[in-house]
Structures are given as C-alpha cells and as structure tokens.
Structure 1
C-alpha cells in the first residue's frame, strides 16, 4: 500500500495562462497565475481529468508562435 492510498484530501484541477495543467489541494489558496479548471475530486480523478484534456503539452505561447510562423513560412 502506498502513501497515495491513504490520501483522503480533495484536489482541484488548475490551469495557468499558458494552458498548462496541474492539481492543487482544494482547500488551499492557488499560487499566483493559476486558476481553477472546474474539476475537483481525488488525486487520481483529477489526474485522469488532466490526461483527458491536456493533449498538447506545448505552452500556449509556443503553439501561437508556431501557428504564426507556419502561416508565414
């Protein structure tokens, strides 16, 4: 049995301005630059949500730069 098996805390899925995802304890104030995505639950539930929605690991600014340069290149 791992330490994660005993974790009864509620987590929240959070996202930053670069559309990068993470989890944070639901009862804690978020660090600057992060906002709630809307999903809360167990650690595993939140990580499963991130796996579902975070399909492109590139930061938003890089995706925009690549799109702009592909259009002009």
Structure 2
C-alpha cells in the first residue's frame, strides 16, 4: 500500500472509501484510523473513538501531541535523568 493515508489515498489518485472509521493505537502510542467494521490490525487496539474520517483525524490531531514513539520518549527521559 503506497500513498499517504493522511491525505486519503491508497494509491495515487485512488480515494479511500467513505464510511465510518475508528481510531486505533499501537504499543508505541502512535495513532491511525481503521475501518469501523474491521478488527484492529495486529499490533494495534481500538482507542475508543469512532466517526467519519474527518472526525477521527481531528481527534488524532487533538490527542496525539507528541509524535515521537513511546520508546523514544522514555529513552530521552531516562537520558535527561542521568
């Protein structure tokens, strides 16, 4: 799958299907959207928010304030303490 999912494209010029989505999160606390009627992909879990694509992306913009993976944030905190 190529293209930028944040721009709503799977392949260049092919729009994502419309419909309802849910927000998913992985163990690194990175967010994405996934079709509401499908189980979360391996390594991801439902975050608890669902709606249309724009609502889900707006929710992610609101809650995902630090784009660094969790492991990097924790390593940097440990480094600062040392």
TM-score, length-scaled by structure 1: 0.88
Return 5+ residue gaps in structure 1 as ranges.
none
Return 5+ residue gaps in structure 2 as ranges.
1-14
Structure number with the higher strand fraction is 2
Which segments of structure 1 move beyond 2 Å, counting only runs of 4 or more? none
In structure 2, C-alpha distance between the alignment counterparts of 1:58 and 1:13, rounded to whole Å: 18
- Of the two, which has the highest radius of gyration? 1
Structure 2 match to 1:68: 78
Structure number with the higher helix fraction is 1
CA RMSD of aligned residues (A): 1.3
| Residue 49 of structure 1, aligned match among 35, 38, 59 | 59
Q: Which structure carries more relative contact order (alpha carbon 8 Å, separation 6+)?
A: 1
